[in-house]
């Protein structure tokens, strides 16, 4: 069997993929400012790497060009006509992996819109579109028990690039999940080994309060270097449910090796609770995105913005750390990591993982 490897996000990128916002129900009553946020994200990224942008139709492509031009983005971006339902490419786009020769391959998961929305047929075809645009080989990972396509989303998996994966039980094993009915912990770990080359899976408990995906790990725990994890941690026990979840996830990481020194865990604060029309939103600094030479971090007009930016800057001193205002963006139940998907550069054959 071909052994694939899942590179860390800080590995060199060939490009970042995003899709231009167009689906008003994702930001009810707030779609207006969202393209301007996307244009700023594209501006920052285009200074460091190519940005590939999927546009739902010709009118959206024209709007994207207008917004990008207004932000002074005239190079290092490519716009593609690809119909899509929503723009959260972390989940609907393929996960880019390396094959043994170092070539980049598209691990194209089956996508069911987080088992929550009926309209996802176009998002389920994004992988084929990326294959057509890039010419990269596309694979469809399967369940080890039935051989059916594996339903998965990129926001639920986080790697150090050396064979360790972070996931949550809430996302894949809780009773509310209908992604891969009947697939157990051992089955998932076999699937991660086959599709991503994972040798060790660390199972955290629950994601953050307000997460529309039922527990994606990219809102709570992220690798920033080999053996170094930032964990979104709510210190105040009087605050809300996030404190209990934080304590449990810290305990799980300690059991996985932090106590023995195999892992270094650094706490990342939460901002104040962010709500809209009574709905709790998944506002988390952990939803940052690492690109070539830069880290984009969501900010929320909160006193902890500076703490989060400084913490990440200290842990990743080789990159410029840039805050991106995300109070409007998070109304769509996602921020910077959710909307991006990295395309790693080709790896030289024989290069160490």
Q: Exposed/middle/buried for 158, CB within 10 Å: 0-12, 13-18, 19+? A: buried
Closest C-alpha to 226, from 262, 255, 254 = 262
> Cα–chain-centroid distance for residue 224?
14
Specify the 3-state DSSP secondary structure of 10: coil
Facing residues of 51 across strands? 16, 77
Tell me how far apart the alpha carbons of residues 103 and 86 are, in angstroms, rounded to a whole number.
29
Residue 99, both tokens: 């094959």
Long-range contacts (CB closer than 8 Å, 24 or more residues apart) made by 349-353: 349/100, 349/101, 349/102, 351/102, 353/5, 353/161, 353/162, 353/163
- As a whole number of Å, the CA-based R_g of the chain is 19
Tell me how far apart the alpha carbons of residues 88 and 166 are, in angstroms, rounded to a whole number.
20
Residue 227, both tokens: 């053996």
Would you say 349 and 25 are in contact if contact means Cβ atoms under 8 Å apart? no
What element of type H or E holds 43? helix 34-46
End-to-end CA distance of the chain: 19
Q: Which residues are catalytic?
A: 338
């Amino acid at each position: 069997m071909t052994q694939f490897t899942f590179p860390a996000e800080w590995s060199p990128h060939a490009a970042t993929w995003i899709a231009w916002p167009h689906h008003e129900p994702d930001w009810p009553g707030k779609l207006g400012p969202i393209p301007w946020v996307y244009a700023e994200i594209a501006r920052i990224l285009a200074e460091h790497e190519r940005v590939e942008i999927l546009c739902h139709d010709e009118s959206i492509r024209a709007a994207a060009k207008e917004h990008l031009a207004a932000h002074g983005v005239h190079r290092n971006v490519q716009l593609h006509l690809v119909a899509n339902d929503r723009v959260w490419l972390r989940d609907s786009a393929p996960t880019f992996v390396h094959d043994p020769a170092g070539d980049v391959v598209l691990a194209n998961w089956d996508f069911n819109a987080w088992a929550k929305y009926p309209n996802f047929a176009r998002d389920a075809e994004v992988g084929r579109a990326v294959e057509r645009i890039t010419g990269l080989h596309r694979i469809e990972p399967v369940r080890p028990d039935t051989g059916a396509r594996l339903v998965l989303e990129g926001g639920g998996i986080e790697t150090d690039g050396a064979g360790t994966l972070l996931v949550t039980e809430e996302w894949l094993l809780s009773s509310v999940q209908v992604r891969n009915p009947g697939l157990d912990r051992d089955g998932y770990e076999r699937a991660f080994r086959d599709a991503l080359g994972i040798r060790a899976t660390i199972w955290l408990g629950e994601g953050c309060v307000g997460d529309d995906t039922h527990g994606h790990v990219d809102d709570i725990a992220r690798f920033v270097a080999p053996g170094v994890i930032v964990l979104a941690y709510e210190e105040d026990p009087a605050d809300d449910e996030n404190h209990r979840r934080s304590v449990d996830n810290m305990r799980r990481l300690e059991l996985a090796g932090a106590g023995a020194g195999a892992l270094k865990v650094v706490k990342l604060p939460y901002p104040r609770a962010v709500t809209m029309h009574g709905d709790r939103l998944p506002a988390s600094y952990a939803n940052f995105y690492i690109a070539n030479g830069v880290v984009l971090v969501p900010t929320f007009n909160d006193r902890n913005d500076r703490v989060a930016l400084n913490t990440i800057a200290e842990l990743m001193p080789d990159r410029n750390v840039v805050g991106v205002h995300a109070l409007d963006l998070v109304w769509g139940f996602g921020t910077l990591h959710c909307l991006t998907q990295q395309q790693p550069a080709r790896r030289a054959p024989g290069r160490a993982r």
